[in-house]
Chain A
């Protein structure tokens, strides 16, 4: 089942913060976050495995709450380059296959 992302779209000024949420009705093994710019392939941001870990890379970080089957992506002090569509991809627990089920995406627009 497809994970639900919220919000659907966000418009920010450069330097503002944003949070993108991803929730699933099924038990998850991992959550993968990607950013896709128009006409380009999705670019990997980070992967979070079950265990409630939190990861970060410069000003982008994410958390994974295994009990709630939820993940959040945090973008702090946003830059113009952060604009794009953010997708979470989820991998179910207990399965042998690990192909991802992606949400519908969150469109992020950063204005100068």
Chain B
């Protein structure tokens, strides 16, 4: 069974530029999560989708971050404009149903200069 796929794996941009990350969850997984992991810390939930609807986006900085999961399968997370403090690993995870095991993708490492 294929795992959670993410791209790109690495991205370097300058502050005030925009960037987008893509995630394809495990086939059949209805729930999708985006986490931000700053170096030396645990992952922090940004947004949770159930199919194509948002369940929780309370910790998403909505002035600069946006996310969508239009067809209830893959998802895109965007940052516009990026700040230095956005440098982190952005992890996507999926679960079959809410409350079940969350499986993480390899992450996208973002460096903002």
Whether B45 lies near A41 (C-beta < 8 A) is: no
Contact of A42 among B31, B44, B56, B104 (CB under 8 A): B104
Which positions 45-77 of chain B face chain A at CB distance < 8 Å? 45, 48, 55-56
Q: How far is the CA of A91 from the CA of B100 in the complex (A)?
A: 11
The DSSP consensus for interface residues of chain B is loop
Number of A-B residue pairs, CB cutoff 8 Å, is 55
Residue A110 lies at the interface, judged by CB distance under 8 Å to chain B: no
Nearest CB in chain A: distance from B20 CB, A: 20
Whether B99 lies near A98 (C-beta < 8 A) is: yes
Whether A100 lies near B102 (C-beta < 8 A) is: yes
Contact with B along A72-103 (1 / 0, CB 8 A): 00000000000000010101000011111111
Nearest CB in chain A: distance from B54 CB, A: 10
Which positions 67-107 of chain B face chain A at CB distance < 8 Å? 91, 98-107
Nearest CB in chain B: distance from A47 CB, A: 6
Whether A99 lies near B33 (C-beta < 8 A) is: yes
| Contact status of A97 and B48, CB under 8 A, knowing A42-B91, A47-B101 | yes
Q: How many of chain A's residues touch chain B, expressed as a range?
A: 20 to 34
Q: Which residues of B contact A104 (CB under 8 A)?
A: 40-42
Nearest CB in chain B: distance from A85 CB, A: 9
> Among A30, A32, A99, which residue has the most Cβ atoms of chain B within 10 A?
A99
Contact of B42 among A30, A91, A102 (CB under 8 A): A102
Whether A44 lies near B42 (C-beta < 8 A) is: no
Whether B102 lies near A44 (C-beta < 8 A) is: yes
Contact of A102 among B44, B56, B98 (CB under 8 A): B44
Q: List 10 A-B contacts (CB under 8 A).
A: A30-B99, A32-B101, A44-B102, A87-B42, A87-B43, A97-B55, A98-B98, A99-B33, A99-B56, A102-B42
Residues of A with Cβ closer than 8 Å to B? 2, 29-30, 32, 34, 40-44, 47, 87, 89, 91, 96-105
Q: List 9 A-B pairs, minimum CB-CB distance, nearest first.
A: A102-B42, A97-B56, A99-B45, A41-B104, A99-B48, A97-B55, A98-B98, A87-B42, A42-B104
